[in-house]
Structure 1
């Protein structure tokens, strides 16, 4: 269902931005010991669930060789715990720490410039593709590489190609291998195929990524399985499934946060002379929340509050739930749709987008959408993109 957003005057846009800035300032003034405890407890949860998961995997692999009834229950429990550990490390700790949310603590283990997370992607590349490019140019076509990740046509404004007919199965494969897609995103392989980058340049850029991939594969698929000796196979499979669990969950959360039915994209000229109020408005219209309570908040690293995260990416994410009450009230006061819904509802909209836009849009509608200029006051959002045929 399309939601109309009320066009804002220049004065309203300024006040809109000032009110959101005030929410940020009040929250920053309150940061302290409770936030430090939260992230340190999250780190402890990652360590304990990971250690227990690996112990159960080893117990299942070795003990199951002698008492077969122990094999699958212990290995399944160990795999689930290891997958949970990896999800918490990726979403609750890694993503938020790399955003600089806890730099104020002065802890080198939780600082954005020194933290290296447990996936095949490097933190350095993520800071460029995500922290800078995506958060600065959220849903701006041609500037935000996260729009479809170079593989998927999710919005009608994207040019249709026959290749897009394959995107439903491609989306499934991308979901299963999401951490690998994130790892190579900054390589921007399209430049190689377009002749804008040489193989020598690609090799130089790939070197740090390749080293990180090698370390992760050595850890998960060689060292830990080898510790189980001749009973290595269940441990190897457990590590593989745990990594895939994390990829699937991360994919679902990120896609629900950006590609639901009401999410919009914008032309490049919308960022020209963009005011603070305009920036907030663009972040709001390009983001979607997931409702579900504390459990969803923890498992998503509070990216269930994607709107608040895009407004305040360097504020500790454990603050987003409280901030959302004020943010939602401000949006309502200014007649702006606050996009939220259950996980099943939001992901259902994402799947609809992937399926629908695998096929071409109506030519007239496509032309109208891609040529429509960005309004100086309304961000071009009077007619949401999901209405396109």
Structure 2
């Protein structure tokens, strides 16, 4: 998908917007909010642990698996915010929170921060954004035509396979962290390895100690499938189907972030469900802005973009998913056409 301006606008636009955000006090830390948010997550996780122990060996535990997946996704949102230094002023303080939340979710914090930073630097940019470099999916016709073998088949029908593929995302995130440790391309590798081993030991011991082997295996499958779908449904609507920048394309920072991002409209419930990622435009412009401030920043950013003639995209949650699926289906069309021709 294209639609980016041919002329690069003046770089002072973002500086002007940044001054507005600072004057409105929206870059100030919200430690109280995060303390309450983390405490609530801990209570929810503790409730899940109590429910798990009390239910014991029963197939009803599959509902516990889904519940734990939802709660741990909320923990992942806090880890995301820590990675952007939204919570505390110091990098060390945010990293401590991030590593703890990474240990609870089983996702390597150091690996994820590096990957996510590359995404923020070059959103929807070919050969630079890791979030559009996914083997099983294609986000442009060029990507689709480059696929071979089984991956070509998945790209052909990717709109139909999107939900099943999302079910694998929690596992793939854990695998990505493990691969980075094997390659030794992350910092604090000993700490990360110890946290991962600890997570797996506690998690698997608890599951197989309380449940029968078949129940335990299915518990793990349901937990990771639900968590994968939840994470995917939180991140996918933000950029998929938005303009993709060719490698090396020069676009100023404000337009690079705004034109490749999409906001999801809704009230406090949507804010909670999506961990603040529904304000994707504001988040990409100001990654270190605390999550609760994004709602206040949104009308200011939208008005600013309107004044500067920058297209600002926002739609409902349902419309965003339809947008994503429609885009994936269109990208796979050349492959389906070739199959018919052959």
**One fold, TM greater than 0.5?**
yes
Per-residue deviation, 1:318: 1.2
State how far apart, in whole Å, the 2-side matches of 1:188 and 1:267 are: 28
Corresponding residue for residue 17 of structure 1:
14
State how far apart, in whole Å, the 2-side matches of 1:115 and 1:213 are: 11
State how far apart, in whole Å, the 2-side matches of 1:285 and 1:30 are: 22
Query: Are positions 1:146 and 2:146 aligned together?
Result: no
C-alpha distance after superposition, 1:176-215 (max 9, x if no partner): 12123234447899xxxxxxxxxxx965559877766544
Classify the secondary structure of the residue corresponding to 2:315. Answer: strand
* TM-score when normalising by structure 1: 0.72
Could you tell me whether the CA contact under 8 Å between 1:53 and 1:81 is conserved in 2?
Answer: yes
What CA RMSD, in Å, does the superposition of the two structures yield over aligned residues?
3.5
Corresponding residue for residue 269 of structure 2:
295
Pick aligned residue for 2:236 from 246, 250, 255: 255
Per-residue deviation, 1:242: 3.0
C-alpha distance after superposition, 1:1-33 (max 9, x if no partner): x997777774xx34532332123323556625x
State how far apart, in whole Å, the 1-side matches of 2:177 and 2:95 are: 24
Paired residues, number: 327
Query: Are positions 1:221 and 2:204 aligned together?
Result: yes
Taking a change above 3 Å as real, the CA distance of residues 8 and 359 of structure 1, as seen in their structure-2 partners, is closer
Classify the secondary structure of the residue corresponding to 1:149. Answer: coil
State how far apart, in whole Å, the 1-side matches of 2:19 and 2:332 are: 42
Pick aligned residue for 2:173 from 182, 185, 191: 182
Taking a change above 3 Å as real, the CA distance of residues 112 and 337 of structure 1, as seen in their structure-2 partners, is farther
Taking a change above 3 Å as real, the CA distance of residues 225 and 51 of structure 1, as seen in their structure-2 partners, is farther
Could you tell me whether the CA contact under 8 Å between 1:153 and 1:164 is conserved in 2?
Answer: no
Gaps of 5+ in 1: 65-70, 190-200, 364-389
State how far apart, in whole Å, the 2-side matches of 1:78 and 1:98 are: 28
Query: Are positions 1:123 and 2:109 aligned together?
Result: yes
Per-residue deviation, 1:114: 4.8
Corresponding residue for residue 340 of structure 2:
none
C-alpha distance after superposition, 1:52-107 (max 9, x if no partner): 11211222225x6xxxxxx73xx46534432331121012x111111111231788
Classify the secondary structure of the residue corresponding to 2:326. Answer: helix
Per-residue deviation, 1:361: 7.5
State how far apart, in whole Å, the 2-side matches of 1:188 and 1:356 are: 32
Could you tell me whether the CA contact under 8 Å between 1:103 and 1:112 is conserved in 2?
Answer: no
Could you tell me whether the CA contact under 8 Å between 1:108 and 1:114 is conserved in 2?
Answer: no
Taking a change above 3 Å as real, the CA distance of residues 355 and 120 of structure 1, as seen in their structure-2 partners, is farther
C-alpha distance after superposition, 1:247-296 (max 9, x if no partner): 11111121101103xx111122224xx6xxx1110111111111121111
Corresponding residue for residue 247 of structure 2:
268
State how far apart, in whole Å, the 2-side matches of 1:233 and 1:58 are: 17
Alignment of 1:332-343 (within 5 A): 332-343=306-317
C-alpha distance after superposition, 1:293-348 (max 9, x if no partner): 11111121100111111101111111101100101111122222211111111111
Could you tell me whether the CA contact under 8 Å between 1:61 and 1:231 is conserved in 2?
Answer: no
Taking a change above 3 Å as real, the CA distance of residues 145 and 96 of structure 1, as seen in their structure-2 partners, is same
Please tell me whether Structure 1 or Structure 2 has the larger radius of gyration of its CA atoms. 1
Pick aligned residue for 1:43 from 38, 50, 74: 38
Corresponding residue for residue 327 of structure 2:
353
Taking a change above 3 Å as real, the CA distance of residues 77 and 291 of structure 1, as seen in their structure-2 partners, is same
Taking a change above 3 Å as real, the CA distance of residues 77 and 309 of structure 1, as seen in their structure-2 partners, is same
Taking a change above 3 Å as real, the CA distance of residues 40 and 234 of structure 1, as seen in their structure-2 partners, is farther
State how far apart, in whole Å, the 2-side matches of 1:180 and 1:314 are: 27
Corresponding residue for residue 245 of structure 1:
226
